[in-house]
Structure 1
Amino acid sequence: MKKVKLMYIMILIALVMVGCDASPKESTDRISSPNNSQIPISGTWKIAKVIEENSNDEDSRKIEWENKTLEFSEEYVTLGDYYLKEPRYQVKRVNGREYLLYNHKTFLEDFNIPDGEVEVITVIDKDKYFCDIVRISENELILSVSNYNFNLIKISDKVENNSGNQNMQKTEGNNFTVYENDSLIRSGILLGLRSNNSNEYTYRTVWIGFKNKRLDPILETEGIIFPRRSGFWKMEIIKNTEAGKTEDFLFAHNISKENANEAKILQFDYSDWTEKVGNIQKRIDYIGNDYVSIEVLGNGSYEQSDKIWQENILQTLPIDSLASKKNIKITDLSGDESIGAIELGIQKTMENLKIKKSNLINKYKLLNSFGLERKMGHWFFKGRINYMLDDEFYYEDYNINIIPPSKLVMYDDLNISWTHIKNKVPGAIDAFTSPYKDVVLVLTKSEIIIYGIEKGEIESSPLRRIGLKDNEAVIMAEWATGDYVDNWSKTLMGLNDSE
């Protein structure tokens, strides 16, 4: 009997719960890997209620989920007819009400969410994300499956002995897909691109899929579409003006939610505008599954005087708490050693510029003014200082010599040396290699050149060239492999069909 495997991307969209922490305080990602014998959700659970349905797929048949059971144990996880062997569990604590308010506002009406922190349990399958589950109480969970959201009730602390049942098949009426093993090497990259025209920024997303180094049709959509644990999301920048104040607001929403636009929060934080008028513009420099790195450019005047104000800072924000506009601390991502790296970077920059501490402005933001940039095939941390010299405003970037952690950047390997890439394409400014090490994308100022890789060497002729707009830069690079590829293609096709 041929061994079968579930299409992971369907599970990515189909068996997930909302993303990460809801506020900068919680975004320290206090994660632990518990002893599996003490799994917080160990036992047998029943789907008691379907909370909401947002299915737009006319071809899919409704799944009769109510009363299906799920089992979580040290040896396996089952969902109906599906089986996951040797799972790992990670637990983190987040503010429950804020977490659900931003991601699933309707849940607050259906559940008595406790004040304070709740546990989010992440299930991991062979080092790959499988799903997130929010524990409301000892006997109640929240789980999302495809376009359905479920309430799980515990029915037993025990599980059946299904540890040997590794070949569970899909049943009739199920909308998951099962692939048999084949010889296809499938991968694809979702690129987010930002272009600049007269200080106005526009964004687009390009999907490039490969099967045995053969390109699928290249797909493109306006704006930034990015994958998360709960499915595909869209990032928007929305401008709001009020009483002489103009500000850009970041808004992210799950594209499968019909009421996403209702959740837009565009309220001014007047503590940012004390006695000031002017403009605050925001530019996306990097976006990942759970964080976005932006540049904030502000300028204007004070209401009670003719003095001007300026700032040009960097921020890294948790996507699950964009409304608060409070950036995460670098220590939450990279530990206390990052403080020393920032202080050293600032000191060297001041020495190079021949300025003193008295020249620095916005000093209280120095430790939090950091972000990400692309250089020579990798993402790097950078910091920024603002300073005054001869009554003129300036800013300067510096390197923070710490590797961005995996919670911020999921995949950042370059499997061809930068020297080899530059020898092949002298105009190269960036490059990406696939997880299977069979394809490399080389970026110049004007195009993306795609090559196959054979035995560690770039092949002689390119597979494709894709033109870039003027001043266009990569702000996102998300790889899909295996069974994920077809679903990502389907998602991007669906977006194009709806435009």
Structure 2
Amino acid sequence: MNKKLLFFFCIVVLLCSSCIPYNLFGSENTLEDISAPKIEEAPLQGTWKIKKIVPIKSDGTSEESESAIGDELYISTKLFRFSDYITLTPSYKGVRLNIQDFLLKNYSRYRESIGLNNTQYDVIIISDEEQGLYHNIIKLNSKEIIFPYKGYFLFFEKISEKIDSAVIQQSDEILSKKKETVITKEYQKEPISMLIGVRNNSTKGTEFTSADYSTYLVYWNGHQETKPLVAKSSQLFVPRKSGFWIIGNEGYHKNEVFVDRLFAHPVESNLEQEGIFVENSLLKNITYVGQSYISTVNKYTLSVNKEMKMGLYNLNELDYFQSLDIQEFAGKAGLNALEDVLSKAENDIGNLGINLSDMIFPKSDEIGIIHQQGVWNFNTIIQANGNQGQIFEEYKVNLIPRLKFFHANQNLIPWKEIKNYDPTAIDAAVSFSGEFVLIQNPRYFSLRSIKNGKILDNSGLQIHIEGTEKIIMIEFGLGNYSDYWKTEFLKQRDVQEIKD
């Protein structure tokens, strides 16, 4: 018994020491050098031309799109361009899969109906997190591809292994002009919306119960003298490039077996129409969701989950449920950094006299995201097992202080300033250009204005909370986007406006 108590005490000591996170990448400057692994050549490198168009809906017509035949698609490691989509920072990932399942699940079509004879094909996933770009391309062979785009299957043939330098220059100029337009905007005069996604960890019912999720909208019309509008939805309401989606998870019994379903679907549809989901036997809690990614952690219950693993997933590939390896978003340097910090953790644990065989160390794809003290952090878990496989405590290691995953500006108000204003603060979210801050303490979400880098005490709202809420989403909308967000959010049936 004394041995168990000593073991438990040691783990608590570890937890206390983990309050100062390891900085995997050294100084702040070295963070800028961390990037995804370089690819010497894109999987579909070259210039492609449309040769045939087939409607995705079997009863559709391609007559109105025939004028697009001959249009060109450009693919390289530094450019993906077709129609109005342009990115200079594309990412590529190849997946070999059963094309019948893929077509039926995503487009409700049989492979034979669009002329595909084989059962296995490579699907190249092209993405750009910053612009919200995401496309699938079916590779038929080295000279032919199918690009599902805006309701049509576009059949391309390769016309060149290279891209004309004039196309690259023009693409760069177009994006530069767009960037200049954004930079020259006066944000403080435009409407601003902030969507805060929250997970409520309070347990209701049995240990199989999933967490509750909700979303707060904070809308400011751009006039300094007016107070922001605040409203709450009882669902996780996520803005994506394709519109708003409802995202969440639920635990239930299916054929006398416990099942957890993690799901996502457009607001105007449902899971059966356009949704994506995954079912498994491990109850999940969502720790982060953005426009393109979702992070989860297993919810520990004595009967169901006995391992506290985190995972980060591409939201568009949720049904594959393959967690991302750290190398996919931080390159080899990220993997080396993870190995270094785990090695240091092993030494610390060993110095306390704890047998390392009693610990479970994370793999490189067991990485998640959490929000703490006003900033997003990549995170993983080292856990201790008892004699019966039960978890005594978690040992968390902050991995990466920041990468390009997050749209939020996390440095406008230092955490020290927030704690000086409210010593009980446990988390916070600052608006994109610093007009207001949402401060969380054990009793309230407090909305406060900011002026000259200082938090004002004479404005805002206090929203009573249960004390178990965790921030899992922060998204911002500016100008017309902000107005659109407010309109779409407020027309949902379960939304309530919060007033003084």
Does TM, normalized by the shorter one, top 0.5? yes
Instruction: Tell me if the contact between 1:227 and 1:233 (Cα under 8 Å) persists in the aligned partners.
Output: yes
Spell out the pairing of 1:103-182 with structure 2 (5 A cutoff): 104-106=106-108, 109=111, 111=114, 112=116, 115-122=120-127, 128-129=131-132, 132=135, 134=137, 136-137=139-140, 138-145=143-150, 148=151, 151=154, 153=156
SS of residue matched to 1:445: coil
Partners of 2:299 and 2:104 lie apart in 1 by 23
Instruction: Tell me if the contact between 1:32 and 1:90 (Cα under 8 Å) persists in the aligned partners.
Output: no
Deviation at 1:365, TM superposition (A): 5.3
Q: Cα gap change, 1:98/1:320 in structure 2, threshold over 3 Å: closer, same or farther?
A: farther
- Aligned residue pairs total 421
Q: Cα gap change, 1:77/1:325 in structure 2, threshold over 3 Å: closer, same or farther?
A: closer
Instruction: Tell me if the contact between 2:448 and 2:459 (Cα under 8 Å) persists in the aligned partners.
Output: yes
SS of residue matched to 2:420: helix
Q: Cα gap change, 1:268/1:382 in structure 2, threshold over 3 Å: closer, same or farther?
A: closer
Deviation at 1:193, TM superposition (A): 0.8
Partner of residue 295, structure 1: 298
Partner of residue 48, structure 1: 53
Uncovered stretches (5+) of structure 2, i.e. residues with no partner: 1-34, 175-181
Partner of residue 315, structure 1: 310
Q: Cα gap change, 1:245/1:436 in structure 2, threshold over 3 Å: closer, same or farther?
A: same
Which segment is superposed worse, 255-264 or 343-352?
Answer: 255-264
Instruction: Tell me if the contact between 2:284 and 2:296 (Cα under 8 Å) persists in the aligned partners.
Output: no
Deviation at 1:203, TM superposition (A): 0.8
Instruction: Tell me if the contact between 1:366 and 1:384 (Cα under 8 Å) persists in the aligned partners.
Output: no
Q: Write 1 or 2 for the structure with the bigger share of strand.
A: 1
Partners of 1:412 and 1:103 lie apart in 2 by 37
TM-score, with structure 1 as normaliser? 0.67
Which segment is superposed worse, 426-435 or 339-348?
Answer: 339-348
Deviation at 1:339, TM superposition (A): 2.1
Partner of residue 18, structure 1: none
360, 378, 397: which is aligned to 1:400?
397
Instruction: Tell me if the contact between 1:31 and 1:91 (Cα under 8 Å) persists in the aligned partners.
Output: no
The answer to whether 1:448 aligns with 2:458 is: no
286, 289, 293: which is aligned to 2:288?
286
325, 329, 350: which is aligned to 1:329?
325
Partner of residue 224, structure 1: 236
Partner of residue 217, structure 2: 207
Instruction: Tell me if the contact between 2:309 and 2:381 (Cα under 8 Å) persists in the aligned partners.
Output: yes
Q: Cα gap change, 1:382/1:466 in structure 2, threshold over 3 Å: closer, same or farther?
A: same
SS of residue matched to 1:328: coil
Instruction: Tell me if the contact between 1:433 and 1:439 (Cα under 8 Å) persists in the aligned partners.
Output: yes
Deviation at 1:191, TM superposition (A): 1.4
Deviation at 1:284, TM superposition (A): 1.8
Spell out the pairing of 1:430-449 with structure 2 (5 A cutoff): 430-449=427-446
Q: Cα gap change, 1:311/1:333 in structure 2, threshold over 3 Å: closer, same or farther?
A: farther
Q: Deviations over 1:449-479 (max 9, x none)?
A: 2233333333342233333344112111122
Letter in structure 2 aligned against 1:339: E
Uncovered stretches (5+) of structure 1, i.e. residues with no partner: 1-27, 54-62, 168-178, 270-279, 301-308
Q: Deviations over 1:116-145 (max 9, x none)?
A: 533334479xx6445646354545443444
The percentage of counterpart residues that share the same residue type is 18
Letter in structure 2 aligned against 1:297: Y
Deviation at 1:316, TM superposition (A): 0.7
SS of residue matched to 1:400: strand
SS of residue matched to 2:424: coil
Letter in structure 1 aligned against 2:340: G
Partners of 2:323 and 2:131 lie apart in 1 by 27
Partner of residue 416, structure 1: 413
Which segment is superposed worse, 471-480 or 392-401?
Answer: 392-401
Partner of residue 13, structure 2: none
Instruction: Tell me if the contact between 1:451 and 1:458 (Cα under 8 Å) persists in the aligned partners.
Output: yes
Letter in structure 2 aligned against 1:248: D
Q: Cα gap change, 1:385/1:121 in structure 2, threshold over 3 Å: closer, same or farther?
A: closer
Instruction: Tell me if the contact between 1:446 and 1:470 (Cα under 8 Å) persists in the aligned partners.
Output: yes
Instruction: Tell me if the contact between 1:333 and 1:407 (Cα under 8 Å) persists in the aligned partners.
Output: no
